[in-house]
Amino acid sequence: MDSRDVPAPTGRRDVAVLVPAAGLGLRLGGGTPKALRELAGEPLLVHACRRVAQAPSVAMIVVAAPPAEVDAVRALVPGATVVPGGATRQESVAAALSAVPATIDIVLVHDAARALTPPDLVEAVAAAVRSGLPAVVPALPVVDTVKRVDTADRVLETVDRTPLRIIQTPQGFPRQTLLAAHAQATDDHTDDAGLVERLGHQVHTVPGSDLALKITRPLDLLIATALLTAHPEVR
């Protein structure tokens, strides 16, 4: 869908945002669960939740915390509902989803690791779901050249990148659609829209944001630090 089709923010507070934060952060290293690693003096999870809470549609935030850190996470994000996460992201999302009351119609699934995601992106995804779409994901164009290789890393072909997109979070769904998708889930998926896609629903895109990068490797933490320095207004 086109960004011009997204209705203006309504401030209806009809949205729950799930923030899986129970990962180990093995690719970042450092021994601390990634969501608790600091960026500019604050844990990634605090950055992520503060920005989500600034979106006028958001009624509640549910954090899936590392099981050993539930009390510490409650103290860090006192406005959020905190549940113990699971062994995979999908299990953590399912645990958070079960804490969303039936009065909430729209659920967004985010990542604590996308700590700098702007409130406007949360609002755009929420508005697109409210307009009646069954699944909405932020998307960015692919900037690099993409090639398909064989098992020996020899190039087989250059792939046309025009129709390819990098997909971010938050990903938004009607609550019932996400519940149905998770009830049907068998193997582990990295992305909730993939589960909803399997149910036969059309997934729609809205324009993503460079600020919604997923902090995965040490380089990403450096980039996020630079983004905060270059754009103090995104704090």
Binding residues for ligand CTP (CB under 6 A): 20-27, 34-35, 64, 85-89, 92, 111-113, 214, 216
State which amino acid sits at residue 16. Answer: A
Closest contact distance (angstroms) between CB of 93 and Mg ion is 12
Distance, C-alpha 172 to centroid of its chain: 9
16's contact among ligand CTP, Mg ion, none, with CB below 5 to 8 A by partner kind, is none
Closest contact distance (angstroms) between CB of 169 and ligand CTP is 8
Residues 20 to 79 in contact with Mg ion, rule: CB under 5 A: 23
32's contact among ligand CTP, Mg ion, none, with CB below 5 to 8 A by partner kind, is none
Q: CB-based contacts of 228: which residues, under 8 Å, 6+ apart?
A: 39, 40, 116, 234, 235
Closest contact distance (angstroms) between CB of 100 and ligand CTP is 16
Q: Which residue is nearest to Mg ion (CB)?
A: 23
Could you give the CA distance from residue 202 to residue 198 in angstroms, rounded to a whole number? 10
Structural tokens at position 209: 């944001």
Nearer to ligand CTP (CB atom), residue 114 or residue 130: 114
Q: Are 105 and 133 in contact (CB under 8 A)?
A: no
Nearer to ligand CTP (CB atom), residue 130 or residue 189: 189
Nearer to ligand CTP (CB atom), residue 31 or residue 41: 31
Question: What separation in angstroms does the CA of 90 have from each of 25, 84, 96, 202, 221?
Answer: 16, 13, 10, 20, 24
Nearer to ligand CTP (CB atom), residue 91 or residue 105: 91
Nearer to Mg ion (CB atom), residue 21 or residue 128: 21
Could you give the CA distance from residue 101 to residue 223 in angstroms, rounded to a whole number? 37
Structural tokens at position 162: 């025009």
Footprint of Mg ion on this chain (CB under 5 A)? 23
